[in-house]
Chains A and B, each alone.
Chain A
Amino acid sequence: MRSAVLVFPGINRERDMARALAHVAGREPAMVWHAEHDLPAGTDLVVIPGGFSYGDYLRCGAIAARAPIMEAVRAFAQKGGLILAVCNGFQIVCEAGLLPGVLMRNAQLRFICRDVYLRVERSDTPFTRGYNAGQVIRVPVAHGEGNYIADGATIARLEGEGRVVFRYASPDGIVDPNWNHNGAMNAIAGIINERGNVLGMMPHPENHVEAALGCTDGRGLFAGLVDHFKRAA
């Protein structure tokens, strides 16, 4: 699996992401600067990591979404290439129009940095084939703007088409306002596009791939992607 991790000024999770990709996939990703116009030839997976691109100026992800490299990312998505967008990456792909909706300020106005539980809603995507539907995983979040919002028609469409992939839940998989840390509509933590090749999620699976870090629940996402490309080959 040849991965490319995008790097924008102000991003700070790109090395965590590169480490997780190298650790699980056994191949170092290419790091691609935002001012580039092309992705490396043969890229299988584009990863947009977390951080605070452009200091969250204007709106989170708004400036990065208009960076030169994003034209190549858009073309890559149109060809069916896989894009994993985490945290600020999720905000960036929403701003770029690759996923619907917006990530707003957390409902309780606080930056949240802690482990959360996610219910995996589907296992039949390239991103979640390493999990079972209904499985609960523990991964960290670290964001001030993760409160997913979209208009009623968009939410109905996402739910109707089964495009909510991760939901904030209790450790036993119950969706409940007490476990919906940022107030996201329908406890949405991650969604996929209509074609199923662009996944955006607020939590950080890349931080839970090594036992030394206390949990390996995030590993399934990367292992699933590796498996996806192995089968496709």
Chain B
Amino acid sequence: MKARVTVTLKSGILDPQGKAIEGALKSLGIGGIASVRQGKVFDIEIEGTDHDAAAAALKAAAEKLLANTVIENYRIEVTR
């Protein structure tokens, strides 16, 4: 099985990297962009076929390491 964990900054948390990218896009002349927030994507290969076990392992991975839940949210997607 394959899974994807997406980690994004919570709203209200200052994202200077996103701001810098936003500025760079403006200087490239790419119009219509209101704001940019930068996040992280983790593509994970899961051993076995137990969907529930995978979901539990991914939740533990996200909570314990992939995201810092003080400042970040995470989303887990599992594809069979």
Contact = CB atoms under 8 A, between A and B. Distances in A.
State the main secondary structure of chain A at its contact with B. Answer: loop
Interface residues of B, number: 12
A157 B47 CA distance: 44
Contacts of B20: 109
B70 A109 contact: no
Contact of B68 (A62, A105, A109): A62
Interface residues of A, number: 19
A101 B70 contact: yes
A66 B66 CA distance: 12
A101 B68 CA distance: 10
Interface string A147-170: 101110000000000000000000
Most A CB atoms within 10 A — which of B13, B19, B66, B70? Answer: B70
A101 B71 CA distance: 9
Nearest to B20: A109
A104 interface: yes
Contact of A149 (B17, B64, B66, B71): B71
A183 B70 CA distance: 18
B41 interface: no
A87 interface: no
Interface string B1-41: 00000000000011011011000000000000000000000
Given A102-B70, A107-B14, A149-B14, 14 more contacts: A58-B65, A66-B64, A66-B65, A100-B70, A102-B71, A104-B14, A104-B16, A105-B16, A105-B17, A106-B16, A109-B16, A109-B17, A109-B19, A149-B70
7 contacts: A95-B68, A102-B68, A104-B13, A104-B16, A105-B16, A108-B16, A147-B14
Interface of A: 58-59, 62, 66, 95, 100-102, 104-109, 147, 149-151, 183
